[in-house]
Amino acid sequence: MIDLIRKLTEAWGPSGYEHQVRELIRAEVKPFADKIEVDPLGSLLCRVGKGGKGKKTIMIAAHMDEIGIMATFQEPKSGYLRFSAIGGLLYTTLHGSRVRFEDGTIGVVAAPEPFGAARTTAPDLDSFFVDVSDGGDTSRVKAGSPAGFWRPFEQRGTRLIAKSMDDRIGCAIAIEAMRRLNGKTPHEVCFAFTVQEEVGLRGARPAAHGIDPDVAVSLDVTQTGDEVKGERHDVRLGGGAAIKIMDTGHVVPPHIRDWMIGAAEAADIPYQREILTLGTTDSAGIQVARSGVPSGCISIPCRFVHTTSETVDSRDVEACVQLLVKLLSEPLSFS
């Protein structure tokens, strides 16, 4: 999976501009999907298996987008770009970060007086700017141009480090599960690679409305509690798949929780229980589609979320793939 993870995490695709990532995923899943379509908002919907009497429809969601910025104004003298956020930026990580615009232009984000007050306290977002100068008198980047953060994928032992593990690692897990299933599932499964999660779960809601699933599972990263002076969060790298119990937008129904935990224990798949006190996933939007969809989440433990060095462990990734395949390979343990 390493080559796939590298390809996906290095791809360009801030929220609302996921088209490049979508085409990469389309090419990967084409041999394993019975039907592929793109919904009106841009989510890629890939159906495996066929519905019928007594069959359940299961939705698997992983979002394609990543956080980024949008150029809003170019300073007339310096040519520096002012910008707004696409998604939840961490201001303390911005100074010196690189961004890439769709045409390939690389910019460097900077704060004024980095060795002054900005050395210890992050300024407001409107104080930052992006340097896209090339030594000439003009800039190809205009107001309204989106950019994603740029950093190449790296591997350090079992640690995988990239700028958009959130949530390209979820996409990679979904693709690998499709490969391993190879169409063998007692359900109709719709793998939804969704858009605009980072700006408010905007793609998952209409995707779920159109799919009308009986059950849904999202795939997304979660914070770890194993950093120095980290929060009291009982999830760690290398501890296995994290099965969500609750987050700020989603309380997992007990029968969905038990279904997922039971599958992990039956197959001896390492797992952890996740209770996230800040943030949520596509499942929060899916659960309120139509008349309601019982939803769960397989979370991938991740350090340094919303930075250019989001870090996961390959052993956890494998556990997540195994758990997803197990869930989709057998009849549901509940009616």
Residue after which a domain boundary falls, among 149, 176, 194: 149
User: Quick one: how many helices (H) and strands (E) in the chain?
Assistant: 7, 18
Q: Which residues are catalytic?
A: 197
Residue after which a domain boundary falls, among 149, 182, 215: 149
For residue 281, count other CB atoms closer than 10 A to its CB: 29
Claim to verify: residue 92 and residue 54 sit in the same structural domain: no
* DSSP class per residue in 286-307: HTTSTT---EEEEEEEEBSTTS
- Interval 115-135: pLDDT, tens: 666 666 778 898 999 999 888
Claim to verify: residue 313 and residue 181 sit in the same structural domain: yes
Q: What is the pLDDT along the chain (335 residues), one digit of tens a residue?
A: 999 999 999 999 999 999 999 999 999 999 999 999 999 999 999 999 877 777 899 999 999 999 999 999 998 888 899 999 999 999 989 999 999 999 999 999 998 876 666 666 778 898 999 999 888 766 788 889 999 999 999 999 999 999 999 999 999 999 999 999 999 999 999 999 999 999 999 999 999 999 999 999 999 999 998 888 766 788 999 999 999 999 999 999 999 999 999 999 999 999 999 999 889 999 999 999 999 999 999 999 999 999 999 999 999 999 999 999 999 999 998 77
- Interval 213-239: pLDDT, tens: 999 999 999 999 888 876 678 899 999
- Domain assignment present for residue 158? The answer is no
Claim to verify: residue 135 and residue 187 sit in the same structural domain: no
Quick check: 221 and 305 in contact, CB under 8 A?
yes
Cα(81)–Cα(95) distance, integer angstroms: 14
Claim to verify: residue 113 and residue 183 sit in the same structural domain: no
The pTM assigned to this predicted structure is 0.95
CATH number at residue 132: 2.40.30.40
Cα(15)–Cα(40) distance, integer angstroms: 15
Claim to verify: residue 182 and residue 131 sit in the same structural domain: no
